[in-house]
Amino acid sequence: MAKKKIGVLVGSLRRDSYSKKIAEHVAGLLAGEFEVEFVDIGGLEMYNQDFDLDNKVPESWQALRDQIFALDGFLFVTPEYNRSVPAVLKNALDVASRDVRKPFDGKPGAVVSVSPGALSAFGANHHLRQSAVFLNILMMQQPEAYIGNVVSVLDENGKVVNEGTDGFLKLIADSFIAWVNKF
């Protein structure tokens, strides 16, 4: 039986993104059980319904929609911008979700929010969950994953070196594996 495909969507485009470093760590923990692929959301045109209405969907939109449709589940790893989800991640959700095939519908997901501050991107985590409810992404409820003070858990190469955080991310990965395998 083929491995399930999990897409990782990172809400930060920054070259040295803390979210991407955490996403890479968790993806490594999932790789034994799933086929894991990162979904590139950085080059998408902003969503404009006129493109759909005029049947002039940009190639980047169609590629994203096809990729999302082919996935079996989703791991979102995101920072918080102004107490919400970064625009690039919200745009990706908007672009993909307007596909008539409903590519997110009924598929499992999980969110890890990441911040150099103590609040651990709580607002982004919960705003993303609100959109997921509407899209019928079946988000893992527990354990919740908030990684605060992320700078203190990474070394100069961006690797997780804090034992407690490493153990927690393993718990998140194991819980997500169990969650996805329920579907």
Span 68-116, pLDDT tens digits: 999 999 999 999 999 999 999 999 999 999 999 999 999 999 999 999 8
- Residue 58, C-beta contacts closer than 8 angstroms, at least 6 positions apart: 44, 45, 51
Domain of 20 in residue numbering reads as 5-180
- Mean pLDDT over 16-26 rounds to 96
- Mean pLDDT over 16-35 rounds to 96
Helix (H, G, I), strand (E, B) or coil at 109: strand
Q: What is the CATH number of the domain that holds 75?
A: 3.40.50.360
- Residue 142, C-beta contacts closer than 8 angstroms, at least 6 positions apart: 175
Span 37-60, pLDDT tens digits: 999 999 999 999 999 999 999 999
Q: How many domains does the chain have?
A: 1
The pTM assigned to this predicted structure is 0.96
Span 100-109, pLDDT tens digits: 999 999 999 9
